[in-house]
Amino acid sequence: MSSASSEEKQPIRVALHVAALGVVFGDIGTSPLYTIRQCFDPVVGLKPTPESVTGVLSLVFWAITLIVMLKYVIFILRADNKGEGGVLALTALSLKRSGTNGRLGGAITIAGMIGAALFYGDGVLTPAISVLGAVEGLEVISPAFDGMTMPIAAVLLVGLFLAQKSGTASVGALFGPVMGVWFVTLGALGIWGIAHEPAVLAALNPRPGFELLISGQTHPLLLLGAVVLAITGAEALYADMGHFGRSTIRRIWIGLVWPALILNYFGQGALLLHTPEAVENPFYLLAPEFLRIPLVLLATMAAIIASQAVISGAFSVTSQAVELGWLPRVRIRHTSARESGQIYVPQINAALMVGVLAVVFGFESSSNLAYAYGIAVVGTMVTTTLLGFYYYRYIARWPLIPTALVALVFLTIDLSFLTSNLTKFLQGGWLPIMIALVIVAVMETWRRGRKILSEQFLDGAVPLETLLKQAAAQKIQRVKGAAVFLTANLDMVPTALLHNLKHNQVLHKRVALLRVSTEDTPRVPLSEQLHVETLPNGFARIEIRHGFMQPVDVPETLERCRTFGLDFPPMETSYFVSRQTLVHEHSSKMPAWQSQLFILLMDYALSPTEYFQLPPNRVVELGTKTEV
């Protein structure tokens, strides 16, 4: 019996590991396409001498080992929000401990916003640099492809973004096997190179890397700015933990991905020791000539998979940010009936496509994109380190001194990499910073504006008890049917209800005040999602609670109210929502630009009817005019 059970579980485990290969490790798996070449870019100023090659490999090896292996795989993967990972999950968990008010809560909120904003920058840059880096292999095969890499990359990327609306379920099954072949190929090419020049293994010692940094051959910050490309994608290991689990990610990293990456980097280094002129493109020149065309095709597929993973990640971050109240409601489509995490956000997809194409044609090559890419990646890492310290000290209750020392070590490394990339601010580093500043401004404006509206509502609100007394005294005419009023405060009379009484002077026989609450946890168990309080004279208060990674369907959830003695027949229930028209007030609590931006965001936000999946023919919208 136990043997049969084990055999039933094994295929599921294998399938999970294969799927994780395509989703989690695509970004970091394509870094060998450009990292070593970038370390010897003319801007860095290094020549491929035995000392410099060994030093670069040493820095790459220890960067991957210290940041990806030690920081993320060993430490950060332990900091989960009920199984979910990523900067927003960690932010939500930290806010639950600290509260959203006060300086600490504000600092954590801003840190989370910065991390999320930089991830959007990563979403623009990863597809561009990965696909460009893969397609540039065509120039190695034949000079006839010179000048064609940008158009080819653009066509591939447009096709990728256009395919998003169909969902990734159909092609997702191919991602894992393709990436499996990719990592095996990386390792095999590396072994091939090392076998020809075993002396390259001296780079396992950290000393050559340290000596290169202080040798004066190049500015240390310029070199570190190129080395950081080897650890791009580390954040994905953490962000995708909720889909695949901590143990799955650790096993694949240690058993396949880490060895394959190290072998390939050392194989490229061995090639440079033997043939320094191969610095033009050591990744493709490492392969025998007859394998280069298949390698370009495989690399392009791997780059597209890496791009798909980060695009899907941007969709997930958007969904989480909306639920946390940091972004306006947007149209979110679920592309799989089985996997709730497979979503498509049309507005974000369009914005990413425009951004990626602008970057491809603006920067023209993967080398030109390298420094911009580094800032987006390392900026998110700094945020994760700071939030990770808060988690281990105040949530996991680790002792202060050991926790601070570990965080200080990682923060020192992160800031060294960040500083190194900031030196190339004018050469492209400005791009992710600009993207992050714009997105943080939007998030903070939306959060602050909603808070102001909530305060204004409370100032002029009527307590629910007052309405209940009037209903008990039979001073209000009642009509057949049920009415559901959406509100953010169950103790006050919703604005839509007040306007309905003012204009229609009637109430339905059954009146429910409904609040949909997003919890600072990824998922709320089914048994805890619905809370119903029955009040006198046909009134009720209902709260639907869901996690920031869970969609909500109000009519479907209300059907479960029958277990509480309440019935909301679809054809007898009307939904009342407030439609606010905002105008700028000169005495606003926000600056004029922020007030105008908030008004624009409110106009852009998806209506409650669509967002909560209310039946359009059963919705009544009552307008109000509000000054902000």
- Model pLDDT for residues 564-583, shown as the tens digit of each residue: 888 888 888 999 988 877 77
DSSP state of 606: P
Residue 270's alpha-carbon distances to 185, 477, 613, in angstroms, are 17, 87, 59
pLDDT confidence of residue 566: 87
Higher pLDDT, 23 or 207: 207
What pLDDT digit, counting tens, does each position of 437-456 carry?
A: 999 999 999 999 988 888 88
pLDDT confidence of residue 8: 37
Determine whether 586 is exposed, middle or buried from the number of CB atoms within 10 Å of its CB (0-12, 13-18, 19+): exposed
- Range in 33-37, 79-83, 260-264, 566-570 the model is least confident about: 79-83
- Could you state, in order of their start, the residue ranges of all structural domains in the chain? 2-430, 461-627
pLDDT confidence of residue 339: 54
- Range in 143-157, 204-218, 451-465 the model is least confident about: 451-465
What is the mean pLDDT of the segment spanning 527-553?
A: 88
pLDDT confidence of residue 167: 65
Q: Which of 603, 486, 496 is nearest to 552 (CA)?
A: 486
Locate 545 and state its tokens: 């609670």
What is the fold of 2-430? Answer: Amino acid/polyamine transporter I (1.20.1740)
Higher pLDDT, 51 or 82: 51
What pLDDT digit, counting tens, does each position of 281-304 carry?
A: 999 999 999 999 999 999 999 999
Q: Is the pLDDT of residue 524 over 90?
A: no
Q: Is the pLDDT of residue 174 over 50?
A: yes
What is the mean pLDDT of the segment spanning 543-553?
A: 84
Q: Is the pLDDT of residue 212 over 90?
A: yes
Q: Is the pLDDT of residue 171 over 70?
A: no
Strands 333-334 and 343-344: antiparallel
Q: Is the pLDDT of residue 176 over 90?
A: no
What would the DSSP string read from start to end of 72-101? Answer: IIIIGGG--BTTB-SHHHHHHHHHHHH-SS
pLDDT confidence of residue 440: 94
C-beta of residue 165 within 8 angstroms of C-beta of residue 334: no
What is the mean pLDDT of the segment spanning 603-609?
A: 86
What would the DSSP string read from start to end of 491-518? Answer: TB--HHHHHHHHHH-EEEEEEEEEEEEE
The whole-chain average pLDDT of the chain stands at 87
Residue 209's alpha-carbon distances to 54, 279, 374, 510, in angstroms, are 7, 19, 20, 74
Amino acid making up residue 105:
G
Q: What is the spatial distance between Cα 435 and Cα 438, in angstroms, rounded to a whole number?
A: 5
What pLDDT digit, counting tens, does each position of 403-413 carry?
A: 999 999 999 99
Give the list of residues 6+ apart from residue 367 with CB closer than 8 angstroms, or none.
34, 37, 38, 41
What pLDDT digit, counting tens, does each position of 131-152 carry?
A: 998 998 888 888 888 888 899 9
pLDDT confidence of residue 2: 36
Confidence of residue 429 (pLDDT cuts 50, 70, 90): confident
Confidence of residue 17 (pLDDT cuts 50, 70, 90): confident
Residue carrying the six token digits 């890419």: 373
Determine whether 312 is exposed, middle or buried from the number of CB atoms within 10 Å of its CB (0-12, 13-18, 19+): buried
Q: Where are the beta strands (DSSP E) in 290-400?
A: 333-334, 343-344
C-beta of residue 612 within 8 angstroms of C-beta of residue 570: no
pLDDT confidence of residue 10: 42
Confidence of residue 341 (pLDDT cuts 50, 70, 90): low
What is the mean pLDDT of the segment spanning 301-317?
A: 87
What is the mean pLDDT of the segment spanning 600-605?
A: 88
Task: Tell me the pTM.
Answer: 0.83
What is the mean pLDDT of the segment spanning 459-469?
A: 85
Q: How many CA atoms lie within 13 A of 369 on its CB side?
A: 30
Higher pLDDT, 521 or 94: 94
Q: Is the pLDDT of residue 190 over 90?
A: yes
pLDDT confidence of residue 456: 81
Q: Which residues of 222-234 are buried (b: 16+ CB within 10 A; e: fewer)?
A: bbbbbbbbbbbbb
